[in-house]
Amino acid sequence: HHFDLVIRNAHCATGADTFMADIGVRDGIISALGQGLASGAQEIDAKGAWVTPGGVDGHCHLAEPIKGDVEMADDFLSGPRSAACGGTTTIIPFAVQQRGQSLREAVEQYHQRAGQQSCVDYAFHMILTDANQQVLNEELPALIEQGYTSFKIYMTYEDMMLSDREIINTLAVAREHGALVMVHAENFDCIAWLTERLLAAGHTAPKYHAQSRPMLVEREATHRAISFAELVDVPILIVHVSGKEAIEQIQWAQNKGLKIYAETCPQYLFLSTDDLGGEDDYEATKCICSPPPRDPQNQAYVWDGLQADTFSIFSSDHAPFSYADPKGKQAFGDKPSFDKVANGIPGLETRLPLLFSHGVMSGKISIEQFVQITSTNVAKMYGLYPRKGSLSIGADADFIIWDTETQRTIRNANLHHAVDYTPYEGITVNAWPAMTFSRGTLLWNQGEFVAPQGHGQFLKCGMPQPAKPKVHSQPFKRQEAQHG
């Protein structure tokens, strides 16, 4: 046979175009696209179904230690399994630095945790929580050099946040070495003050989580992060953007010509403050994440932002905590105060079907836009393109054959993560992967998880093109110290 695998009659969609083709795969690589390709050892007739590049999920949390007795439900076995069943073939989880820990040690720890378990390819972002001189001047540049070319910083959470000055120092290092910085933008002191007042008034139910972190705390931090990026002259990515006022800040910056990128997530399209329940609704801890889901007007605004290409990427922010679990959402009892509940919701498996159904099938976004924000742009953002994120000759043979004929209702019982609930329970979707391939190998076949054990490979990231500072038409005036 000429090919290992041929997909016949694929209705291919990339980030740029759509076309009918056969896809020829050899040694895990797409080696031909065309009409009437020669035979393959394995042949599949897609019968005109949509075929898109495998999803790249640029934001998910697996096996991170949380303070106290809390644990994430998914590790590097169950998380990737769940991703594959929902069409995602590349994930980029985080290696979290603890304060006082070397960044290098953190990265090594997560490699050990991952072991050989993952069935999908994976890279790591770092989370930088200790921006001391040793980390910034030595460890970070060396790690960037070695394929860890993106990292996240926090403007809130006592044990993770950086001060304004530390953020500026960190951005300067990212600029010098070409790394992409992801920013969690919420104002810590505003949240602390609001939380204190809510608790003093006896307001502890899940719904007060949203009131403790209203839109303005996100808007303010978003603006501040943008200002620092402008000061230092370096592109940044604002992650998990939840609604209107943060979007306005981002659009303002983009219109000014700054390279400010933005990410949003399914929870800001499909969940709202209603899901955070009423006065005594503790099951609503299932939807506690940060930033919190907003109201329906904000949801609409996020859809508009997707349509307008304000957002470059759409990620799950999978942060898996089981509900009825003494190490999960109920680590502080079955009626926990909102400020004690672990922040995060699962979403690796449902990310693509939700957006394909309610975005593409409903006509809100084009299929090319879908591919861009779930795959192509993510691969570009993190230096994995064109190996990932593309249906092109020479790219890894990672793709999804879609079933858009069957209507399904999302049920946690049908998902493959280790979390005991999904916040999207009961939502109907009319698209789900029929087959998911990674480097030409079937991972998911018509409802069955069939991945070979440990199929996934670790990926070193190249230099992210979007992280390159703008080339200024006018000489850029850096703020130099004035001399007398």
Interface contacts to ligand DUC, rule CB under 6 A = 61, 184, 240, 289-290, 317, 319, 343-344
Alpha helices in 324-425 (DSSP H): 351-355, 367-371, 377-381
Q: Which does 415 bind (CB under 5 to 8 A by kind): Zn ion, ligand DUC, none?
A: none
Angle at which helices 215-232 and 188-200 cross, to 10°: 160
Instruction: Give 328 or 440: the residue with its C-beta nearer to ligand DUC.
Output: 328
The residue whose Cβ lies closest to Zn ion is 483
Write b or e for each residue in 62-83: b if 16 or more Cβ atoms lie within 10 A of its Cβ, otherwise e: bbbebeeebbbbbbbbbbbbbb
**Cα–Cα distance for residue pair 47/4, rounded to 1 Å:** 19
Q: Given CA atoms 221, 175, 108, 262 in this order, what sign does their dihedral have?
A: positive
Instruction: Give 478 or 483: the residue with its C-beta nearer to Zn ion.
Output: 483
Minimum CB–partner distance for residue 43 and ligand DUC (Å): 42
Minimum CB–partner distance for residue 307 and Zn ion (Å): 24
Minimum CB–partner distance for residue 156 and ligand DUC (Å): 8
Q: Are 89 and 443 in contact (CB under 8 A)?
A: yes
Write b or e for each residue in 181-219: b if 16 or more Cβ atoms lie within 10 A of its Cβ, otherwise e: bbbbbbbbebbeebbeebeeeebbbbbbbbbbbbbebbb
Instruction: Give 60 or 260: the residue with its C-beta nearer to ligand DUC.
Output: 60
Residue 477 binds Zn ion, judged by CB under 5 A: no
Q: Which helix (H) or strand (E) holds 200?
A: helix 188-200
Angle at which helices 244-255 and 215-232 cross, to 10°: 20
Q: Which residues contact 1 (CB under 8 A, 6 or more apart)?
A: 38, 39, 40, 41
Q: Are 235 and 468 in contact (CB under 8 A)?
A: yes
Q: Which does 483 bind (CB under 5 to 8 A by kind): ligand DUC, Zn ion, none?
A: Zn ion
Instruction: Give 150 or 438: the residue with its C-beta nearer to Zn ion.
Output: 150
Q: Are 153 and 184 in contact (CB under 8 A)?
A: yes
Instruction: Give 156 or 376: the residue with its C-beta nearer to Zn ion.
Output: 156
Minimum CB–partner distance for residue 483 and Zn ion (Å): 3
By CB under 5 A, name the one of 121, 263, 317, 396 that touches Zn ion: 317
Q: Which does 343 bind (CB under 5 to 8 A by kind): ligand DUC, Zn ion, none?
A: ligand DUC
Pick the closest to residue 58 from 271, 375, 310, 365 (CA basis): 375
Instruction: Give 318 or 439: the residue with its C-beta nearer to ligand DUC.
Output: 318
Instruction: Give 15 or 320: the residue with its C-beta nearer to ligand DUC.
Output: 320
Q: Which does 26 bind (CB under 5 to 8 A by kind): Zn ion, ligand DUC, none?
A: none
Q: Which residues contact 166 (CB under 8 A, 6 or more apart)?
A: 131
- Number of residues interacting with Zn ion: please give it, by CB under 5 A: 3
**Cα–Cα distance for residue pair 175/184, rounded to 1 Å:** 18
Minimum CB–partner distance for residue 182 and ligand DUC (Å): 9
Q: Which does 121 bind (CB under 5 to 8 A by kind): ligand DUC, Zn ion, none?
A: none
Pick the closest to residue 292 from 363, 223, 241, 364 (CA basis): 241
CA distances for 77 relative to 97, 236, 455, 477, angstroms: 22, 31, 11, 49
Residue that the structure tokens 């999904």 belong to: 422
Q: Which helix (H) or strand (E) holds 104?
A: helix 103-114
Minimum CB–partner distance for residue 402 and ligand DUC (Å): 28
Minimum CB–partner distance for residue 246 and Zn ion (Å): 13
User: Exposed, middle or buried by CB within 10 Å (0-12, 13-18, 19+), for 99?
Assistant: exposed
Angle at 77 between CA 73 and CA 79, to 5 degrees: 55
Q: Which residues contact 447 (CB under 8 A, 6 or more apart)?
A: none
Note the Cα 48 to chain centre separation in Å: 30
Minimum CB–partner distance for residue 64 and ligand DUC (Å): 9
Instruction: Give 36 or 483: the residue with its C-beta nearer to Zn ion.
Output: 483
Considering only the stretches 24-32, 195-203, 209-217, 476-484, report the one whose residues sit in contact with Zn ion under the rule CB under 5 A: 476-484
Instruction: Give 175 or 184: the residue with its C-beta nearer to ligand DUC.
Output: 184
Pick the closest to residue 169 from 217, 124, 202, 130 (CA basis): 130
Residue 483 binds Zn ion, judged by CB under 5 A: yes
Instruction: Give 121 or 317: the residue with its C-beta nearer to Zn ion.
Output: 317
Considering only the stretches 6-14, 18-26, 354-362, 475-483, report the one whose residues sit in contact with Zn ion under the rule CB under 5 A: 475-483
By CB under 5 A, name the one of 11, 125, 184, 259 that touches Zn ion: 184
Q: Which does 400 bind (CB under 5 to 8 A by kind): ligand DUC, Zn ion, none?
A: none
Minimum CB–partner distance for residue 129 and ligand DUC (Å): 13
Q: Which does 254 bind (CB under 5 to 8 A by kind): Zn ion, ligand DUC, none?
A: none
Q: Which does 109 bind (CB under 5 to 8 A by kind): ligand DUC, Zn ion, none?
A: none
Minimum CB–partner distance for residue 209 and Zn ion (Å): 15
Minimum CB–partner distance for residue 157 and ligand DUC (Å): 7
Instruction: Give 209 or 455: the residue with its C-beta nearer to ligand DUC.
Output: 209
In the complex, the residues that contact Zn ion under the rule CB under 5 A are 184, 317, 483
